[in-house]
Amino acid sequence: TGGHTTEILRLLSCLSESYSPRHYVLADSDKMSEAKICSFEQKRAETFSKSQFTLDRIPRSREVRQSWISSVVTTLYSILYSLPLTYKRKPDLILCNGPGTCVPVCLSAFLLGLLRIKRTIIVYVESICRVETLSLSGKILYYFSDYFVVQWPDLKKKYPKSVYLGRIV
């Protein structure tokens, strides 16, 4: 809701206008991010007049302190909810940075690629606050992402598939 949204919007602020339309996917219980995104997009529209975006909501895959067993069920539900959304949007690129909401969306896109419906490039950027270990989302998406970006050199040493670019947010 707070930190992840701020980080992803900092990354998006560096992208050219060719990255349009942008489709944001939020957890249905996330109340803060929508206002941040709309504010960001309003400022972006001042620079790029043809800027387009959408907001979609999916069920949250995992709440903070939710048990692991129930998390499997809620994540599967989120994946089933994400499949039609991902099919409808057919993104060329998914840029995500760690909230649990990104896992069902990325897995849905990965599945559409396996079925040869739509190949989507998945770029996962681990949060700046993950210095020594990966987040749970990172541990899952390390295996499904096309590019896995870390912001600390120690993580690059532990996860050789990752790309270390320094601190990018």
In a domain, 42, yes or no: yes
pLDDT at site 2: 64
In a domain, 104, yes or no: yes
In a domain, 169, yes or no: no
- Nearest CA to 53 out of 89, 28, 78, 79 is that of 89
In a domain, 122, yes or no: yes
**pTM for the complete prediction?**
0.91
Rounded mean pLDDT, 139-157: 95
Q: How far apart are CA 62 and CA 75, in angstroms?
A: 7
The predicted-structure confidence for 102-139, as pLDDT tens digits, reads as follows 999 999 999 999 999 999 999 999 988 898 999 989 99
Token pair in block for residue 106:
């990325």
CATH number at residue 107: 3.40.50
In a domain, 50, yes or no: yes
Q: Domain tally for the chain?
A: 1
In a domain, 67, yes or no: yes
Rounded mean pLDDT, 131-154: 94
In a domain, 44, yes or no: yes
The predicted-structure confidence for 32-90, as pLDDT tens digits, reads as follows 999 999 999 999 999 888 889 999 999 988 777 778 788 888 899 999 999 999 999 99
In a domain, 43, yes or no: yes
Domain that holds residue 155: 2-164
